Copies of this chain bind each other. A is one copy, B any other.
Amino acid sequence: MGMTVPPFSQSLLEQDVFVLSNLALAVRRRLTERFAELGLNRWDVAVLAVLTDHGPIVQRAAGALLGVDPSDMVDMAERLVAAGWAGRERDPSDRRRYLLTVTPEGREVFERARREELRVREALLAPLGEEDRERWASLLRLLHGHVRSGSLDALL
């Protein structure tokens, strides 16, 4: 029996937080590998998502949406521009600002990234039936919203 993976300690498997982190890390790693095959890293995808959803957007604002420091946005934006996935132009009405836009090529590669995410998700949810998939999706979003709303802090 191909037991390639080292078994964890029972004491760790009892900790939901540990299991959750471990699961997320493994899946994220998979997806990151898939993204890499498209020449994308995770930040590329995140920024492309923001540009796709929020039309032309000021570089600083895009960073704020992702919780990224303005100084760290510089290279991220530059990467996308260099790859031809994003356009960067001075805001005519405020020449300090850069307006970032997604290019057609950017939309295309982002679509491919979405499809990769779907494939990884499918592989993850493979052992689940339709009902369980819906429960999982529902619980996942519920908990995510709960945590992001800050309620978690209040309860601790």
Chain A residues at the B interface, C-beta cutoff of 8 Å: 2, 4-28, 30-31, 34, 46, 49-50, 52-54, 64-67, 110, 114, 117, 119-128, 132, 135-137, 139-144, 146-153, 155-156
Contact = CB atoms under 8 A, between A and B. Distances in A.
B23 A28 contact: no
B127 A53 contact: no
A124 B147 contact: yes
Nearest to A126: B155
Tell which of A2, A6, A64 has the most Cβ of chain B within 10 Å: A6
SS of A interface (majority): helix
A2 B11 CA distance: 38
Contact of A16 (B53, B140, B143): B140
Contact of A148 (B15, B26, B66, B150): B26
Given A137-B16, A139-B132, A144-B19, A120 B156 contact: yes
A21 B11 contact: no
Contacts of A17: 27-28, 31, 117, 120-121, 124
A23 to B, nearest CB: 5
3 nearest interchain CB pairs? A24-B24, A11-B49, A123-B155
